[in-house]
Structure 1
Amino acid sequence: MTQKIHPEAGAIGRGIRLGRIAGVVVTLDWSLLIIFALITVALASGPLSTWHPDWGTALVASTAAGAAVAFIASVLAHELSHAIVGRRLGIEVRQITLFIFGGMAQMESEPRAWRAELAMALAGPLMSLALGLACLSLAAVLAGPIEVDPDDPGGVLATLGPITTILFWLGPINILLAIFNMLPGFPLDGGRVLRALLWGLTGDLLRATRWAVGAGQALAWLLIATGIAMIFGLQVPIFGSGLVAGLWIAVIGWFLNNAALMSYRRVFVEEGLGKVPVTQVMHRDLISVSPHSTIAALVDEHLLGSSQRAFPVVVDGRLMGLVCLADVRQLPRERRTETRVSEIMTPYERLLTLSPQGRASEAVALLGEHRINQVPVVEGGRILGLVSREDILKWLALRRGPAGGGA
């Protein structure tokens, strides 16, 4: 799955940083441990115990864990293919995050041409398909000539070693991964293929996104309904039925629905802003405070009497830092009279800022990537204004109309 970095995706940005592969930062989210555990337990207690009844517990458990690691590596290869193809086509991908629902190649911006979107979207499923076929081919070579007993066709699996067993399991899994990702529901790869084709036909990215997101929401609700039916006994090929399997399918549908909605809103914002300068969307009428003011004075004189929630800390016209409502909330109430603004503010050196020559789309990227609420616009050490998500959404609502909650 490829995805533009956005505020709501912030929760997918924490975990273990593995380093760089092909110039792309790879991060394992902590939620990936759930997938590792589920695959390991499911394989150890199900197929491996059935296929290899003569194996000891340690061998079964280690083979299951190895299969889980191999699956995660397969997902990483899928996402790396997106990143490598995208970068060759001018789409900057700086980070890949593997998390509970698979993987995400996080783009710095949407593709600028439908052909680039199409090539990047196809790269992942093609990689998964190639991996699946390669695993099955290698497993066949390692297994050698096999004689199948007509009375016990499943018995042939008992003759396979651990590595061959993993390959025979991993091959079909990767092929299924390729097929699932090609379902025409945005932001799955198939949904991005659909959007690219619609974009090429209409020449309108926003309209193509709206239609692709509609397909994504339809697929999401189908998965949710299927998952609920599985909980109540519906048998689905491959996935089976029951509480755990049904709940998992329903949760995937819920995630896809949310991702589809966020994708449309993000494209609406990005397309709506275009080349709008940041000075057109920033809030200019700011109340500034002294670093020597007490927090009690800040609350009584400014926070309680205005809608402003972030206050520039200024000395002789120069920006020294920023103090926010969140900073005040972290301070115990009894310490407000003795604590100065300078003690809790974020100093200038640690602030992310924009110049007045910057674009509003750059502000959106900073707000989303760093999960912050406002960005100061600064020139020559002097603050000209603040840009917040609310300011940008207000500008869009007045100039372009509401983004809407659906597709």
Structure 2
Amino acid sequence: IAAAVVFLASIVAHELAHSLVGRRYGIVVRRITLFVFGGVATIENEPPSPAAEWWMAIAGPLASIFLGVAFLAIGGRLAGDAAVLAASDPELYFGALGPAATVLAWVGPINLLLGVFNLIPGFPLDGGRVLRAALWRIRGDFLAATRGASTVGRAIAWLMIFGGVGAALGAPPPGLSPGVGQGLWLIFLGIFLSHAAREAYQQALVEQLLAGVSVARIMRRRPPVVEADLPIGVLVDAQLLGSDARAFPVVDDRGGLVGIVCLDDVRKAPRERWLDAAVGSIMTPVADLETAEPQTQAVDALRRMVARNVGQLPVIEHDRVVGLVRREDVIRWLQLHTEALGV
């Protein structure tokens, strides 16, 4: 348990190193997600320069390598005379260690392995981001650098998959030992890396296409609105059945936003309540809503929709509803511009 706690703390330190360096360059880290084999820092904005990308990417592996060396050094001091057995008889060496030295003897090499693994130039691993920083500096084009790093990342992912298949079938590539478990684990890592590399490039492409695009250019202007005292049945008959809209801002008698009602809200309401229950009883109140303004950047609106897992945002100007920006509208805009650019 102690070794697991120290290893988990090491992963947190790895990701915090990314976060601290990122903050220096104005990069906002929204959250850190921990996995069995590491962690991922979710950032709100891409690095502003190749140097920012380089230092933020390299900070994590350097932190892991530093911790690995430090743990081994401290563990060696705690081991005392038993340290001479490390190379000649590892089993006897671990048996002679105390609890603290044993923990450090395990997590030290694991941190070194974590640091070296993350330096593999398989985007979006840290090493892949270092590669993207170098390509960005050479080419001067962030999207082209991302595409190049993503291609290298997918190539490395397929090498992992083929290596895992070989190991599982008893014919591993040089440097790997045969074994079904090891092979399946390598296949899993390869599939994960391949998907991550593709998604990272798609995210960069979206950021590039939406750069400088405001919500006003994409939103649906003057969307149909309803009042809170409207019966649910009337909403269904007069609005849902007569249009392709699936969400309606709910307004007061002055046109101010008080909430939003969606098709899913109607579905959750018992049908016997449709005649007497009002929209206000099933809507999401404005206090719980994420909204946008016409000048909000479209990419920021998309991030908000993804973060809140909603399909639309009411657009507010001077306390009145002036539009509705939907995730599908953003996607349609991206598709049209992607095809026009031949991307």
The equivalent residue for 2:215 is 278
The equivalent residue for 1:330 is 268
When residues 256 and 172 of structure 1 are mapped into structure 2, their CA distance, relative to the original with a 3 A threshold, is same
Shift of 1:151: 8.2
Tell me how far apart the structure 2 counterparts of residues 288 and 364 of structure 1 sit (CA, whole Å).
22
1:194 aligns to 2:131 (yes or no): yes
Superposition map of 1:2-401 within 5 A: 65-146=1-82, 147-148=84-85, 154-234=91-171, 240-316=177-253, 317-401=255-339
Shift of 1:272: 1.0
- Say which is worse superposed, 334-343 or 230-239, in terms of deviation: 230-239
Tell me how far apart the structure 2 counterparts of residues 395 and 149 of structure 1 sit (CA, whole Å).
62
When residues 150 and 250 of structure 1 are mapped into structure 2, their CA distance, relative to the original with a 3 A threshold, is closer
Q: Judge conservation of contact 1:322–1:345 (CA < 8 Å) in 2.
A: yes
- One-letter amino acid of the counterpart of residue 93, structure 1: V
More helix by share: 2
Shift of 1:259: 1.7
Q: Judge conservation of contact 1:101–1:252 (CA < 8 Å) in 2.
A: no
Number of residue-to-residue matches in the alignment: 341
Tell me how far apart the structure 2 counterparts of residues 206 and 288 of structure 1 sit (CA, whole Å).
40
Partner SS for 1:144: helix
Shift of 1:129: 0.7
Q: Judge conservation of contact 1:227–1:249 (CA < 8 Å) in 2.
A: yes
1:341-385 per-residue CA deviation (whole Å, 9 max, x = no partner) reads 111111122211112222212212212222221111101221111
Partner SS for 1:401: helix
Shift of 1:150: 9.7
Tell me how far apart the structure 2 counterparts of residues 173 and 234 of structure 1 sit (CA, whole Å).
26
Shift of 1:338: 3.3
Shift of 1:248: 2.7
1:281-305 per-residue CA deviation (whole Å, 9 max, x = no partner) reads 1112522222222223222332233
Shift of 1:223: 2.3
Q: Judge conservation of contact 1:268–1:403 (CA < 8 Å) in 2.
A: no
Tell me how far apart the structure 1 counterparts of residues 119 and 3 of structure 2 sit (CA, whole Å).
24
Tell me how far apart the structure 2 counterparts of residues 296 and 224 of structure 1 sit (CA, whole Å).
54
Q: Judge conservation of contact 1:265–1:403 (CA < 8 Å) in 2.
A: no
Q: Judge conservation of contact 2:163–2:172 (CA < 8 Å) in 1.
A: no
Tell me how far apart the structure 2 counterparts of residues 151 and 222 of structure 1 sit (CA, whole Å).
34
- One-letter amino acid of the counterpart of residue 348, structure 1: V
**Over aligned residue pairs, what C-alpha RMSD do you find?**
2.4
Q: Judge conservation of contact 2:164–2:172 (CA < 8 Å) in 1.
A: no
Shift of 1:175: 1.0
- Say which is worse superposed, 363-372 or 178-187, in terms of deviation: 363-372
Please list every run of 5 or more consecutive structure 2 residues that lacks an aligned counterpart in the other structure: none
Tell me how far apart the structure 1 counterparts of residues 86 and 202 of structure 2 sit (CA, whole Å).
57
Tell me how far apart the structure 1 counterparts of residues 90 and 34 of structure 2 sit (CA, whole Å).
37
When residues 330 and 221 of structure 1 are mapped into structure 2, their CA distance, relative to the original with a 3 A threshold, is farther
When residues 151 and 209 of structure 1 are mapped into structure 2, their CA distance, relative to the original with a 3 A threshold, is closer
Tell me how far apart the structure 1 counterparts of residues 51 and 87 of structure 2 sit (CA, whole Å).
50
Partner SS for 1:267: helix
Tell me how far apart the structure 2 counterparts of residues 247 and 305 of structure 1 sit (CA, whole Å).
52
Tell me how far apart the structure 2 counterparts of residues 119 and 210 of structure 1 sit (CA, whole Å).
20
Q: Judge conservation of contact 1:97–1:104 (CA < 8 Å) in 2.
A: yes
Tell me how far apart the structure 2 counterparts of residues 347 and 271 of structure 1 sit (CA, whole Å).
34
Q: Judge conservation of contact 1:311–1:322 (CA < 8 Å) in 2.
A: yes
Tell me how far apart the structure 1 counterparts of residues 193 and 234 of structure 2 sit (CA, whole Å).
47
- One-letter amino acid of the counterpart of residue 388, structure 1: R
1:247-285 per-residue CA deviation (whole Å, 9 max, x = no partner) reads 332222222222222211111111111111210011125
Partner SS for 2:199: helix
When residues 153 and 377 of structure 1 are mapped into structure 2, their CA distance, relative to the original with a 3 A threshold, is closer
Identity between Structure 1 and Structure 2 (%)? 48
- One-letter amino acid of the counterpart of residue 294, structure 2: P
Tell me how far apart the structure 1 counterparts of residues 86 and 268 of structure 2 sit (CA, whole Å).
70
- Say which is worse superposed, 222-231 or 102-111, in terms of deviation: 222-231
Shift of 1:92: 1.9
Tell me how far apart the structure 2 counterparts of residues 312 and 213 of structure 1 sit (CA, whole Å).
40
- One-letter amino acid of the counterpart of residue 296, structure 2: G
When residues 150 and 207 of structure 1 are mapped into structure 2, their CA distance, relative to the original with a 3 A threshold, is closer
Tell me how far apart the structure 1 counterparts of residues 280 and 190 of structure 2 sit (CA, whole Å).
47
Shift of 1:199: 0.7
Shift of 1:138: 1.0
1:117-139 per-residue CA deviation (whole Å, 9 max, x = no partner) reads 00000000011111111111111
